[in-house]
Structure 1
Amino acid sequence: MIPQLVTYRQRRRDGRWLRLYIPVVPVVLVLSPLLLLGVLAGLVACLVTGVSPVGALRGLGQFVWALPGTRFEIEDGSTAVLVSVR
């Protein structure tokens, strides 16, 4: 399943939480021109380095498919960051 929502939470130094909910599909649609350029640049890089473009795209697809349910937590002193992919 492709990720649908990324939740970003950051605890500020004063103890309050900053929460951002980022929907993945609208962000991808807005950034699709840059995404297309990135895919083309990746294909050129694959051809230059001798990596199979189909294998690289398959690996990227498997990576994105495995993202839902992932949580990144970082805590340093009074500052904490939590990123959750659903």
Structure 2
Amino acid sequence: MIPQLVTVRHRRRNGRALRLYVPVVPVLLVLSPLLLLGVLAGLVACLVFRVSPMGALRGTGRLLWALPGTRIEIEQGRTAVLVSVR
């Protein structure tokens, strides 16, 4: 299942937290023209580097399928960032 919601939480130096909820499907719809250009560039790169386009597509699909449940936490000093994919 592809991710539906990405939550980004940023804790500032003063201790206040900023939380952003990013829905994946509407963002993909808005960015779909760029996504099409990215797919075409990926196909050209596969041909240049002699990589199977179907294998690259399958690997990308597996990566997207594994994203839900991923948590990325970065903390440096008093600043912290948490990215959660649901």
Normalising by the smaller structure, the TM-score range is over 0.9
Letter matched to residue 78 of structure 1: R
Cα deviation, 1:26-78, whole Å, max 9, x if unaligned, reads 00000000000000000000001100000000000000000000000011110
What's the offset of the Cα at 1:83?
Answer: 0.1
| 1:23 match | 23
> Identity rate of aligned residues, in percent?
81
What's the offset of the Cα at 1:81?
Answer: 0.3
Matched, 1:37 2:47: no
What's the offset of the Cα at 1:25?
Answer: 0.1
The count of aligned residue pairs is 86
| 2:47 match | 47
List, as ranges, runs of 4+ consecutive aligned residues in structure 1 with deviation greater than 2 Å.
none
User: What is the TM-score normalised by the length of structure 1?
Assistant: 0.99
| 1:6 match | 6
Structure 1: gaps (5+ residues) = none
